[in-house]
Amino acid sequence: MKIIYFHQYFNTPDMIGGTRSFEFARRLVLMGHRVDIITSYREKKNLSNWFRTRENGIYVHWLPVPYSNHMNFYDRLKAFFRFAWFSATKALDLNADIIYASSTPLTIALPAIFASKRKKIPMVFEVRDLWPKIPIALGILKNPFLCFLANLLEKAAYYFSDSIVVLSPDMKNQIISKNKISSNKIAVIPNSCDIKDFKYNKKLAVNFKKDRPWLNNNPILVYAGAFGKVNNLLYAVKLAKALKKQKSNIKILLIGDGFEKFNIIKEAKKNNVFNYNLFFEDPIPKKQIRACFSAATMCANFVIDTKETWANSANKFFDTLATGKPIFLNHGGWMQALVSLNKCGIAIYNEPIYKVAKKLDRYMNDKKLLAKAEKQSTKLAKNYFNRDILAKKLESVLLTNYRKQKINMSEIAPGIYKKI
């Protein structure tokens, strides 16, 4: 197959951010397919025109479009629509048998639908986050007309897709209930575990701690990701305050950047936990995360306490499993059920913060409990979320649509996860 892969925020392992598209695309190349990725170049360099690079056999077409987590919502919208406009015409210059478009942003559906119709080839649409449901629920998108247009675009994306790939079973259920789409059209392919790249490495862990003497061999809770409204990192400040009050030896390390970072640091200082038991670092490239997670006692996924966000499929969750580390969640949903069922960490939400702090302190200082959780995390990574296995499922989805076979997507990737 010749695949046009739309993803506005494509990253290589040398870049900061998730590498799902890179990892799947390079495996598709190894399977014998040609992959052309159409993406944006976000670095602050004096570039204005398209340019192409070759990344592990993938042809990557970059359009310079400034973007940052510090941008406000409407500046982001401008970046979304600019990329959608120019990427649509770019796709017409490329030979292809199938279109694969990955959101967010949801506007990626516009060039994907256009290219699919003009070229008369199938389109598979990947849903990474439930837009516009989340920004509407969080009050980020308030304008009634924009909400109407966003919902219309969502329906169009699903309607014109030959198949849909979602990143969690909760996403699948919510899309079906809202849009009355047959489950036969939807495959569940979550974010995945790169087991070889993230396997625990003692040397990397030792060096990571050595470079940070403030850790002093204490238990470390690590968060590596965005500092946005949905990530709810003010929860980490409250948790640090409660842990300090209880004289816990736990240190919390938050790595990343985003619109909310300044306010979170301000709150940490106000509550006297900044650089006491709550520490901040700038974002690091994906390939350096292994050292950080190897050094961690436990890794966290923080999400705002809104049910619409619980369907997420956070990269940090799967990187934690790949490293064989326990996970801490402060939210409900399918990941909470998975963690509770398989006893690979702590999943607590809607509980007083002092109770959370007590439970976390006991857990992170219990070596036997941690060892059991580490084994369970490794089992989940190998049995359910191995990237190599999920890449083959994605290939099956694409081939089925390319060949116009009438095969139930739920049979290829049902997204059912039981106790290991």
pLDDT digits (tens, 9 = 90+) for 360-415: 999 999 999 999 999 999 999 999 999 999 999 999 999 999 999 989 999 999 99
pLDDT tens sequence across 221-268: 999 999 998 999 999 999 999 999 999 999 999 999 998 999 999 999
Same domain membership, residue 279 and residue 248: yes
pLDDT value of position 22: 98
The answer to whether position 52 is within a domain reads yes
* Same domain, residue pair 23 and 158: yes
Residues facing residue 124 across a β-bridge: 100, 163
Stretch (H or E) spanning 197: helix 195-198
Does 218 lie in the same domain as 85? no
Contacts of 12 (CB under 8 A, 6+ apart): 19, 22, 55
CATH number of the domain enclosing 71:
3.40.50.2000
Counting DSSP H helices and E strands in the chain, the numbers are 17, 14
pLDDT at 73 over 80: no
- What pLDDT shows up at residue 139? 85
Same domain, 374 and 392: no
- Is 354 within the bounds of a domain? yes
Within a domain: residue 84?
yes
151 & 13 share domain:
yes
Band (48; pLDDT cuts 50, 70, 90): confident
Average model confidence (pLDDT) across the chain: 94
* Residue 373 domain flag: yes
Determine phi and psi for 222, rounding to 5 degrees.
-110, 135
The secondary structure element, H or E, covering residue 6 is strand 2-6
Distance (Å, whole) CA 270 – CA 264:
10
Number of domains composing the chain? 2
Are residues 11 and 148 located together in one domain of the fold? yes
- Residue 213 resides in a domain: yes
For the chain, what percent of residues have pLDDT higher than 70? 100
Q: 418 in a domain, yes or no?
A: no
Query: 211 falls in which pLDDT band (50, 70, 90)?
Result: very high
Residues 317 and 251 in one domain: yes
Q: Is 417 part of a structural domain of the chain?
A: no
Contacts of 224 (CB under 8 A, 6+ apart): 255, 256, 283, 284, 289, 292, 293, 299, 316, 319
Cα–Cα distance measured from residue 390 to residue 397, given in angstroms and rounded to the nearest whole number: 11
Best CA proximity match to 356, nearest among 298, 313, 269: 298
Domain co-membership, 305 together with 378: yes
Range of the domain at 206: 195-383
Domain assignment of residue 243, yes or no: yes
106 and 252: one domain?
no
Residues 139 and 262 in one domain: no
- Do residue 185 and residue 44 come from a single domain? yes
Number of CB atoms found within 10 A of residue 139's CB: 8
Instruction: Say if residue 393 is in the same domain as residue 258.
Output: no
